[in-house]
Amino acid sequence: MKNLLIIPSIDIKDGRTVRVVQGIPELGCKKYESDPVEMAMIWRAENAKCIHVVDFDAAIAHSKQNFELIGEICDSVVIPVELGGGIMDMETAERLIDLGIFRIVIGTLTTTDMPEFIKILEKFGPTKVVAAIDVVDDEIVNYGRTQNSGIRPLDHAQKLADAGVQRIIVTDVSRNGMLAGPNLKLSHKIATETGVKVTHSGGIRGFNDLLSLKNFANLSIDSVIIGRALYENKFPCQKIWRVAESGIFT
């Protein structure tokens, strides 16, 4: 297996870094004592190669209140920043790219308005636009993980692949932020049955879960987003980057 890219996550709500329980703000947020710009600089100092940002204000209320902050995050680091949350039209996508976002992550729009999503995908290309699938009990959830869609993840993943998507971020919401262990089977199934590259997200508790990822991953699962386990020091940051990127999983 090739090297595994570790991607730290920065969740933003009301301009602050938070850890949202199961990705649903109404269930409670844990605030971390660092603003998002400072946090991005910390992760870069820890040798992160990419940062994943989620704008929960945009995801829930379509607010653009964090856009200036998002631009500051992009300006503060020299590594790619990808962002998801509330991207529902071409105008928003264009603005985020203009702010310096390297890659936009789109979830809800892919199930509610596929033609608009395809327009964005065709304009910016599959390197700049990736899809997100958030799952609860084998059903995709939308609008900041607050509404059920009635759509099965594997069926939708195949539809996205057919539309030209080359990467999907897969999250089992029931595991997200809970340190309950990752649902690696879900990510593996989507990767192997659709042929798209998959970034796994949700449930990583520590280094042993990264080792478990090796047993499910192939060339299509090449990266993992980690949030709470990093913030709460479940493993030394420098160690996981050094080990993950030195070919230990070969």
Residue 202 — left, alpha, or beta (φ > 0 → left; ψ -120 to 50 → alpha)? left
The answer to whether 204 touches 224, Cβ cutoff 8 Å, is: yes
Question: 87 is in which domain, residue-wise?
Answer: 5-243
Task: Tally the domains of the chain.
Answer: 1
Say whether 155 is catalytic. Answer: no
3-class DSSP state of 9: strand
Which one-letter DSSP state was computed for residue 197?
A: E
- CATH number of 69's domain: 3.20.20.70
pLDDT range class, residue 18, cuts 50, 70, 90: confident
Question: Does the model's pTM come out above 0.75?
Answer: yes
Residue 250 lies in a domain: no
The pLDDT score that the predictor gives to residue 103 is 98
Residue 248 lies in a domain: no
Residue 99 lies in a domain: yes
Say whether 11 is catalytic. Answer: yes
Distance from C-alpha of 25 to C-alpha of 19, rounded to nearest angstrom: 9
Distance from C-alpha of 167 to C-alpha of 217, rounded to nearest angstrom: 14
Dihedral pair phi/psi, residue 196, rounded to 5°: -80, 160
Catalytic residue among 55, 89, 98, 134: 134
The pLDDT score that the predictor gives to residue 89 is 97
Residue 62 lies in a domain: yes
**pLDDT single digits (tens) 179-232:** 667 888 899 999 999 999 999 998 888 888 888 887 766 667 889 999 888 887
**pLDDT single digits (tens) 126-171:** 999 999 999 998 899 987 777 888 899 999 999 999 999 999 999 9
Residue 216 lies in a domain: yes
Residue 195 lies in a domain: yes
- Give the pair of three-digit tokens for residue 56: 């929960």
